Amino acid sequence: MKAYKAYCLDVDGTIYRGEQSIEHAADFVRRLQDKGIEPFYVTNNASKTQAQLCERLANFGITADPECILSSAITAAKYIHRWYAGKSVYFIGTDAMGEALRAEGISCVERNADIVVTGLDWGISYDKLAQACLDIRNGATFLSTNRDVAFPSERGFLPGNGAFTALISTSTGVDPIFIGKPESHMLEAIRHEHGFRKDEMVMVGDNYDTDILAGIRFGIDTIHVNTGVSRMEDVLTKDVPPTWTIENLEEWEVI
């Protein structure tokens, strides 16, 4: 065990699984908070607001600081604010995306944007896709919240933001900057805002290809939990395995 100051927690597969809580997760967060450590929550989900994500965590017995919750939409807004200050944005996404952009004071326009950003949008249409393509052909920078091409639902696997991103990419010939894991922009946003050193940070998650790779690419320690997508025996055979592998969060002693 090592003492970290910034625990960056994945949520789905680490804290809950769909509507089911994952054993020991809420208790782990409480043990962190008892030591004065407020954890961060990093999720590729771009369709929910900070308040909605906070409420979801509360349903699983976790009192989170809303400011410590980073979705890929919130991170995209922070990224635009930091690197493209003053630029206008055309977005495809839910109200959560609009709220995240407004929170950073970003001006959203209906056409001729400097930046196009896409996230999952339940009301996606030909017109929205066409406008995104037109702006990108006119030179707009193309950002996308995540690569997820499909996500599970009660009906089966449904098309995710990555699938619509691929459509725009195919039509324009322009590849986007992806914001979500396995890219490390969420972790960089946490480091930048709070001034942590990389050796004070750790990424905790169930999925090697997103959570653990994001941590490895960012150059911080990683903890793999065997409660979700990637199996422990598989992650141990990787060229770059996680720093730590545990069955569940009860095994992690907070020091």
12 binds Mg ion (CB under 5 A): yes
215 binds Mg ion (CB under 5 A): no
Of 206, 220, 221, 225, the residue at the interface with Mg ion (CB under 5 A) is 206
Size of the site for Mg ion (CB under 5 A): 6
Q: Cα(197)–Cα(184) distance, rounded to whole angstroms?
A: 15
Residues 219-248 that bind Mg ion (CB under 5 A): 228
Least Cβ distance, residue 17 to Mg ion (angstroms): 9
Least Cβ distance, residue 151 to Mg ion (angstroms): 12
Least Cβ distance, residue 195 to Mg ion (angstroms): 27
207 binds Mg ion (CB under 5 A): yes
148 binds Mg ion (CB under 5 A): no
Q: Which is nearer to Mg ion, 98 or 241 (CB)?
A: 241
Q: Which is nearer to Mg ion, 215 or 228 (CB)?
A: 228
Which range of residues in 37-45, 67-75, 118-126, 200-208 is near Mg ion by CB under 5 A? Answer: 200-208
Query: Beta partners for 20?
Result: 17
Which range of residues in 42-50, 144-152, 174-182, 203-211 is near Mg ion by CB under 5 A? Answer: 203-211
10 binds Mg ion (CB under 5 A): yes
Structure tokens at 136: 């990108």
13 binds Mg ion (CB under 5 A): yes
Q: Which residue is nearest to Mg ion (CB)?
A: 13
> Could you list the residues that contact Mg ion (CB under 5 A)?
10, 12-13, 206-207, 228
